[in-house]
Amino acid sequence: MAQGSSQTYARKHPDGNGRGPHRVVVIVDRNSNPFELGCATEVFGLRRPELGRDLYDFRVCSPEPRTLMRDGFFTLTGVAALGAADTADTLIVPNRPDVEVPRRPAVLDAIRRAHARGARLIGFCSGAFTLAEAGVLDGRRATAHWQWADDFRARFPSVRLEPDVLFVDDGDILTAAGSAAALDLGLHVVRRDHGAEVANAVSRRLVFAAHRDGGQRQFVERPVPDQPDESLAPLLAWAQERLDAPLAVADLAAHAAVSPATLHRRFRAQLGTTPLAWLTGERVALACRLIERGESRFEVVARASGLGTAAHLRALMRRETGLAPSAYRRRFGPSGG
């Protein structure tokens, strides 16, 4: 799961708030990045006929009727007024490359009101600056794009910045590091709200990796090698078919015909994580899917996912999902929700 919090926060269940699906509202402000708006729309806004239901009620709002997007690329019109933010169960705040420009007081006030009434807040990339300027990140953990880390620390010393991760889940406030990490965080939120099976379905539609751990390193600037390392895809597919077997990092290295040290370097370079962390994440994801499909015997789940014992399953699921297996079954099992 994310770098950091395994906690959950008290919020309305995405499908059980009495008025239909959980409402996600995105605030778009002058000079906002269109990419992150597109990410939010793809993850939270699209209809899901393949799932037989809509996961979220999605809205876009702005403090002005015509919003000039980043660098004047285009003007956004036809979205709701800023008051729509007051109806959000989850509020995604503006992200803008001009981090030195103060945000509008009306936008900051909308964020503070949402936080005060218990809404979940999400900041993509420079959205962490917006949250910090609103004062809701004081004493909290967050991340932002690596190139703005020094500026962020200088302006907001009371925020516990973690600049070398993809995203941070701090309960009711979540932040993603850069543009592509918005998709990682979005899928993480879907997984927390609706379970692994639904998150996998959304990721397949996006043709995007279903699970990149938030604790993975950001991809900072580095020279592009003349001949990149061989793709890990064949090895990952081979391992995913054998998660119930006693696979270790040495087995992965042997199958790839490389040393464990070389395998570690390739995982770091291509996935931003370690072989062991990837293997553990895949096994926990498989355990979640088995529970969602109705397997109630946790000893069976532990064996089938390669986690060994029910005690190990409990420890890793708590760490990775924030829920014990029994709580996960109540929420995401066939009779849950």
pLDDT, tens digit, 9 for 90 and up, residues 209-236:
554 554 444 443 333 334 444 678 889 9
What's the pLDDT score for residue 222?
37
Among residues 40, 222, 217, 225, the alpha carbon closest in space to that of 146 is found at 217
Residues 51-77, mean pLDDT to the nearest whole number:
91
Residues 6+ apart with CB under 8 A from 316: 280, 283, 284, 287, 307
Asked if residue 70 and residue 28 are part of one domain, the reply reads yes
Which of 15-19, 50-54, 146-150, 252-256 is the least confident region?
15-19
Q: Angle at CA 270, nearest 5°, toward 266 and 272? A: 95
Q: Say yes or no: 197 and 271 in one domain.
A: no
* Residue 47 pLDDT exceeds 90: no
The answer to whether residues 146 and 198 touch, using CB atoms and an 8 Å cutoff, is no
Assigned domain for 252 exists: yes
Return the SS3 of 150.
helix
> Is residue 190 within 8 Å of residue 202, measured between CB atoms?
yes
H/E stretch holding 27 reads strand 22-27
Burial 181-207 (b: 16+ CB within 10 A, else e): bbbbbbbbbbbbbbbbbbbbbbbeebe
183 and 246 housed in the same domain: no
Count of structural domains within the chain: 2
Domain membership of residue 92 (yes or no) is yes
Pairwise pLDDT comparison (11 vs 181), residue with the higher score: 181
- Nearest Cα to Cα of residue 271 among 205, 209, 223, 327: 209
Residue 193 sits in the same domain as residue 274: no
Structure confidence by residue, pLDDT tens digits, 292-331: 889 989 999 999 999 999 999 999 999 888 889 999 998 8
Do residue 155 and residue 291 come from a single domain? Answer: no
Which H or E run contains 37?
Answer: helix 34-40
pLDDT of residue 142: 94
Q: Are 131 and 161 in contact (CB under 8 A)?
A: no
Q: Please, what is the average pLDDT of the chain?
A: 85
Q: Between 333 and 324, name the one with better pLDDT.
A: 324
Are both 101 and 193 inside the same structural domain?
Answer: yes
Biggest distance spanned by C-alpha atoms of the chain: 60
In a domain, 222, yes or no: no
3-state secondary structure of 167: strand
Q: Is residue 218 part of a domain?
A: no
- In which residue are the tokens 């910045």 written? 161
Helix (H) or strand (E) holding 4: strand 3-4
What pLDDT, on the 0 to 100 scale, is given for residue 200? Answer: 82
Please check whether residues 82 and 164 belong to one and the same domain.
yes
Tokens coding 263: 């395998």
pLDDT band for position 204 (50/70/90)?
confident
Q: What is the mean pLDDT of residues 49-63?
A: 90
Are 111 and 254 members of one domain?
no
In this structure, are 185 and 243 located in the same domain?
Answer: no
Tell me if 314 sits within 8 A of 324, measured CB to CB: yes
Average pLDDT over residues 21-38: 92
In a domain, 262, yes or no: yes
The token pair at 332 is: 């995401």
Round to whole Å and give the CA distance between 6 and 225: 37
Contact 173/137 with Cβ under 8 angstroms? yes
10 Å Cβ neighbour count for 213?
A: 22
Residue showing tokens 């941070």: 168
Dump the DSSP string for 206-274.
Answer: HTS-S---TTSPP----PPPSSPPPPSHHHHHHHHTTTTS---HHHHHHHHTS-HHHHHHHHHHHTSS-
C-alpha count within 13 angstroms, C-beta hemisphere, residue 270: 17
Asked whether residue 212 is domain-assigned, the answer is: no
Q: What's the pLDDT score for residue 118? A: 96
Q: What is the CATH number of the domain that holds 300?
A: 1.10.10.60
CATH code at position 54: 3.40.50.880
What is the distance in angstroms between the CA of the first residue and the CA of the last residue of the chain?
Answer: 21
Residue range 279-294: mean pLDDT, rounded: 91
**Locate tokens 């270790």: which residue?**
248
Assess contact for 87 and 21: CB atoms under 8 A.
Answer: no
200 & 236 share domain: no
Which pLDDT belongs to residue 163? 82
pLDDT attached to residue 230: 61
25 in a structural domain? yes
User: Of 175, 206, 237, at which residue does a domain stop?
Assistant: 206
Report d(CA 169, CA 188) in Å as an integer.
9
Which domain range does residue 159 map to? 3-206
Of the residues 206, 240, 265, the one at which a domain ends: 206
Residue 161 predicted with pLDDT over 70: yes
Same domain, 42 and 149: yes
Band (pLDDT 50/70/90 cuts) for residue 208 is low
CA dihedral 12, 16, 17, 22 (to 10 degrees): 70
Do 292 and 177 reside in the same domain of the chain? no
Q: Which helix (H) or strand (E) holds 120?
A: strand 120-124
pTM given for the model: 0.72
104 lies in a domain?
yes
Which of 206, 240, 263 delimits the end of a domain?
206
Q: According to the model, what pLDDT value does residue 52 have?
A: 82
